[in-house]
Structure 1
Amino acid sequence: MPSTRIETRRGWLGDRRRDFVEAVQAALVEGILIPEQDRCVRLLEFDEDAIITSPHAGLRYTVIEISLFTGRSIDAKRRLYAAMTRKLAPFGLEPHEIKLILHEVPRENWGLRGLPASEIELGFRVDV
Structure 2
Amino acid sequence: MPSTRIETRRGWLGARKRDFLEAVQGALVAGIRIPEADRCVRMAEYDEEAFILPGHVGSNYTVIEISLFTGRSLDAKRRLYAALVAAVEPFGLAAHDLKVILHEVPRENWGLRGKPGSEIELGFTVEV
Question: Which residue is equivalent to 1:7?
Answer: 7
Shift of 1:63: 0.1
Match of 2:49 in 1: 49
Cα deviation, residue 83, structure 1: 0.2
**Unmatched 5+ stretches in structure 1:** none
Partner of 1:19: 19
Report percent identity of matched pairs: 73
SS of the equivalent of 2:93 reads coil
Query: 1:73 aligns to what?
Result: 73
Cα distance in 2 between the residues matched to 1:71 and 1:94: 29
Q: How does 1:1-128 map to 2 (within 5 A)?
A: 1-128=1-128
Q: TM-score, normalised by structure 1?
A: 0.99
The TM-score, its normalising length taken from structure 2, stands at: 0.99
Stretches (4+) displaced over 6 A: none
What is the RMSD of the two structures over their aligned residues, measured on CA atoms?
A: 0.4
Q: Provide the C-alpha distance between the structure 2 equivalents of 1:41 and 1:86, rounded to a whole number of angstroms.
A: 17
- 2:81 is aligned with what amino acid? Y
The separation in 2 between residues aligned to 1:126 and 1:84, in whole angstroms, is 19
The number of residue pairs the alignment matches comes to 128
State the Cα distance separating 1:57 from its structure 2 match: 1.1
